Amino acid sequence: MYNTTAFLYERTCAFEVPQTTCEEIHAALLQAGVHPPGLLGDLGAGTGLMSILFAERGWHIHGVERSLAMIAEAENKKIQLPQAVQSRLHWTEGDITRFEMPEGLLLDAAVCLCNTINHLVEWPQVEGFIRSAYNALKPNGVLILDSDTVTTFERFFDHAPVVVWDDGIHRMTRTCRFDGSSGRAHHTAILERHDETGWTTVSEEGMPLQYHQEPKLYEAFLAQGFIVESGEPYNPFPVLYQGIIPKLLWVLRKPA
């Protein structure tokens, strides 16, 4: 997903308040002892929304994103920013399950937010991501990531077709089904465009998501060599996520 629908991503996936999330994660980075103007990896950078917010706080950003359409959206926003912020932003096409840093560069810290780890549906992908992130960090570097709880999958990733966008020109309908026995959810997004003949289907994209059990993630982090400094309940959007624990926020450190 997000190849033909990248231009609607920020309008239809608002499960968090970006400014608030950035402030909370920025505070967690400071508490962990890493500060701008360090080099911050945005792993699964998407349309660059969080990258830009962190760059505005003084971080130099190395973003990794596999969708060229999403990177194009990010670059379109970048050129509208002050030059000082632009100079701190860099995105590269890559797979976060097997990426490497450019020669001579390592990250002071990295973030992997907005349930990106749950987009890695096969366990070897998760292990590859953890290994790649570990290798990309400087000694004593910090990785902060969130993972969705099973409650979020049950409440939000299992629904009949819903129109999530309709501006009279484009219409997107999204369906999601969750299999509790496997922990696998599957989104389907149908994008239509309206012209003088009516609505015509432009694309149909699918996207699987996987619930990863928290103890299994914890053991995988330790197995790679990370120090797990915390794995705490996290609610990035209390207005939406009422009465539940939607995520865990993990703070991991590569030993010095």
- Kindly list the domain boundaries of the chain, sorted by start residue: 6-150+211-253, 152-210
Q: How many whole angstroms separate alpha carbon 166 and alpha carbon 164?
A: 7
State which residues of the chain have pLDDT below 70.
1, 14-15
Q: How far apart are CA 81 and CA 52, in angstroms?
A: 9
> Residue 240: what pLDDT?
83
CATH of domain 152-210: 2.20.25
Predicted pLDDT of residue 139 = 98
Strands 137-148 and 247-253: antiparallel
Do residues 13 and 73 lie in contact, with contact meaning Cβ atoms separated by under 8 Å? no
6-150+211-253 in CATH: which number?
3.40.50.150
pLDDT of res. 239: 86
- What's the mean per-residue pLDDT of the chain? 95
pLDDT at 18: 85
**Residue 226 · residue 253 · CB < 8 Å:** yes
CA distance 168 to 193: 8
Structure confidence by residue, pLDDT tens digits, 112-171: 999 999 999 999 999 999 999 999 999 999 999 999 999 999 999 999 999 999 999 999
Phi-psi category of residue 119: left, alpha or beta, with phi > 0 → left and psi -120 to 50 → alpha: alpha
* pLDDT (0 to 100) of residue 4: 81
| 0.85 exceeded by pTM | yes
